[in-house]
Amino acid sequence: MTTRVTQFQAMVDRDPSNPMFRFSLAQALAAEGSGAEALPHFEFCAGTKADWMMPRILAGKLLVQLGRPTEARPHLESALALACDQHHEDPERELRALLAEI
């Protein structure tokens, strides 16, 4: 486990309901190649705010990387709807391309 993962895990242990701590832990886990461990944290974060696009994008990408495109699709479609609603053109293009590939 890297120092960043250890640091963020300690923060989550102290306050497991804090979505920012969980998001940071998920990013650190994903960066070190522990996507399966990161996924529940991204999903938790997505569940805390209906308009939080990034955890949906990252969860979807992780699921694609893990060979689970069927599970990825709802995350990516939700993120795409948010990207459109929030006028985020770059994520919209990226998400459309990802969805076309799976």
Write the CATH number for 21.
1.25.40.10
- Domain count of the fold of the chain: 1
Is a pLDDT exceeding 80 seen at residue 67? Answer: yes
Rounded to whole angstroms, the Cα distance separating 27 from 83 reads: 20
pLDDT category, 2, cuts 50, 70, 90? confident
Residue 1's Cα: distance from chain center in Å?
Answer: 20
pLDDT (tens digit per residue) in 35-60:
999 999 999 999 999 999 999 999 99
| Domain boundaries, position 59 | 3-101
Whether residue 1 is predicted with pLDDT greater than 80 in this model: the reply is no
User: Both tokens of residue 72?
Assistant: 């990825």
Kindly state the average pLDDT of the residues 15-42: 97
Measured CA to CA, the distance from residue 50 to residue 65 in angstroms comes to 24
Task: Please report, rounded to a whole number, the percentage of residues in the chain having pLDDT higher than 90.
Answer: 98
pTM for the whole structure? 0.93
